[in-house]
Amino acid sequence: KLNANKCLLYAISQSPGVTWYEVETMCQSRIGQPMMISNIEEFTALQQQVEYLLNEHDELAATLYFHQGAWVQINDG
């Protein structure tokens, strides 16, 4: 199951556009905590969770989850 208290806010790749502080502030304003994906395994796990949500046809859960947006940071290396 997905943790509804996580705030998935932006998908970036080494972008100087948005700082972690800004993401944290936005997440807290939505009563959530930022979630950082730091490797491909964590990204794959998130993908599997999203597929589970969509395959269960739980539209309310999907709506609540995706309403929060997405912050994904993949660190190369």
What string of DSSP letters covers the chain? Answer: ---TTEE-B-EESS-SSS-HHHHHHHHHHTT-EE----SHHHHHHHHHHHHHHHHTT-HHHHHHHHTT-B-EEPPP-
Domain ranges within the chain, ordered by starting residue: 6-73
> Which of 71, 68, 54 shows the shortest CA–CA distance to 4?
68
Q: What is the pLDDT of residue 76?
A: 45
Over residues 4-41, the pLDDT tens digits come to 555 554 444 455 666 667 766 766 666 555 566 777 78
Query: What share of the chain has pLDDT > 70, as a percent?
Result: 29
Q: What is the pLDDT of residue 52?
A: 77
Report the chain's mean pLDDT, rounded to a whole number: 62
